[in-house]
Amino acid sequence: MEPQQRGDVEPYWRSAVSHVTPEKVFVRGYDLEDLIGGLSFTAASFLLIRGRLPTPQETRVLDAVLTAVLDYALQKPGTVAARYVVSANPSMVAGLAAATMAVGKHTLATEDTARFITSTYARFQESGKGMDAFAADEVVSLAERRQRIPGLGHPVFKKVDPRAAILRSLAVKEGLWNEPVQLYEAIHRAFTARPGRNDIPINDVGVMAAVLVGLGFSPEETTGLAVISTLPGVVAHISEELAAARPLRVVPDHDVVYTVPADRDFATDYKEAGWAPEQ
């Protein structure tokens, strides 16, 4: 068989991520044997996703993003879901998948913010306007369309979210607080200049998204990185749950009201629904 001589047919798949030969693996063009232990996991993640080696500055900022949430106790739905799952099916893999699927609209939604920044920045570049003028117009236009700016607001922190502030200062220090991120901040500034909004900070998810866009990641890739950033904590929780060895976690009865009647008669209602008794 000479599959390479299938001539004029376009193959079904294409990939530029890695290539496996009988004795070597090439990852984004580098020999895997040079990479093992040759760069940190964070730098390797950048290489895999962005296709080139990161600078030390980029690596430090990405490390900061990946350590910005770490864990949120039993206050994160995905962690709790993972613990319930493994109490029934004691499998690390099943628990990690459950926690992964709990990332979405209401939690770690970097993707929305990243998409907002990416598309707004593209329009800014075409606009020919100055950044502050563009941001002011944008805030007016968003208000008219009653559209929310993603990544703003926090239930506890007013004016400043301390974790967001740390991330920001690291990115500034490493010279990576670049134009897309500055634009997002300009929009936040224009937004909080409006009456009654001066205490709404950019939250940690907002800054994570902004910094990742600044590092060149696509909106979907920011979600992938956000998921990875939370998994070591989930591993810790699953491990703790398996060690607790409490099979079949339930919701304790004192936390539920069941509003289920206990007196429906099946035979009566079944007949009433039109079924012949013996059907």
Q: Letter for the amino acid at 78? A: G
- Residue 242 near a copy of itself by CB under 8 A: yes
Task: Pick the closer one to a copy of itself by CB: 135 or 205.
Answer: 205
Q: Could you say which residues in the range 189-228 bind a copy of itself, by CB under 8 A?
A: 218, 220-221, 223-225, 227-228
Nearer to a copy of itself by C-beta: 105 or 128?
Answer: 105
Interface region with a copy of itself, contact rule CB under 8 A, candidates 126-134, 142-150, 195-203, 269-277:
269-277
Tell me the C-alpha distance between 54 and 225, whole Å. 15
Among 66, 190, 202, 213, binds a copy of itself (CB under 8 A): 66
Site of tokens 């509003």: 259
DSSP 44-102: HHHHHHHSSPPPHHHHHHHHHHHTSS---GGGSHHHHHHHHHHHHS--HHHHHHHHHHT
Closest CB to a copy of itself among residues 50, 189 = 50
* Sheet strands side by side (includes 30-31): 18-20, 25-27, 30-31
d(CA 104, CA 217) in angstroms, rounded, equals: 18
Residues 146-175 that bind a copy of itself (CB under 8 A): 156-157, 162-163, 166-167, 170
- Which residue, 54 or 214, has its beta carbon nearer to a copy of itself? 54
Strand 18-20 versus strand 25-27 pairing type: antiparallel
Find the binder of a copy of itself among 64, 135, 181, 187 (CB under 8 A): 64
**Of residues 122 and 236, the one with the C-beta less far from a copy of itself:** 236
Q: Which residues, other chains included, contact 252 with Cβ-Cβ below 8 Å and sequence gap of 6+?
A: none
Indicate whether 126 belongs to the interface with a copy of itself (CB under 8 A). Answer: no
Q: Using CB under 8 A, pick the residue from 25, 133, 143, 160 that binds a copy of itself.
A: 25
